[in-house]
Amino acid sequence: MNTLEIAQALVTFCREGKDNEALDTLYAADAVSVEAADGGTGSRITQGVEGIYGKHQWWADNFEVHEVTVSDPMPHGDGRFAVIFEMDTTHKPSNQRSQMQEVAIYTVADGKIVREEFFYAM
């Protein structure tokens, strides 16, 4: 698949709540995920798709998602694209509900997502 096809597939998986299927089919085994801030793990950077699975599990354990809006992908050259996520969530431990928007930048090489970077207000 080319970058745009990967981008469109990722958006479809995200809209359908199929994050694990996206990781299984679209991500390289050594993909890197970079957050805007350390979420309490001691690092902003997660190495490898198994670590990214762990991030997804942490999210599911800590947040109830009421609604997610996923933009269409925005390509940038041959190997990158961006997606905007808007989320309405409740933090389970504090029961605090909030809305947030984040921009995700994805890098593709050899037909797989090799890097994802997240930008959001702190």
Q: What does residue 17 show for φ and ψ, rounded to 5 degrees?
A: 70, 30
106 SS3 class: strand
Confidence band, pLDDT 50/70/90 cuts, at residue 34: very high
Is the pLDDT score of 27 beyond 90?
yes
Write the pLDDT tens digit of every residue in 107-120.
999 999 999 999 99
Q: Are strands 63-70 and 80-91 parallel, antiparallel or unpaired?
A: antiparallel
Per-residue pLDDT, averaged over 5-26, amounts to: 96
Domains of the chain, with CATH numbers?
A: 3-120 (3.10.450.50)
Distance CA 75, CA 69 (A): 18
pLDDT digits (tens, 9 = 90+) for 65-80: 999 999 999 999 889 9
> DSSP string spanning 75-91?
EETTTEEEEEEEEEEEE
Encoding tokens for residue 9?
């597939």
pLDDT band at 40 (very low <50, low <70, confident <90, very high): low
Residue written as token pair 């041959």: 78
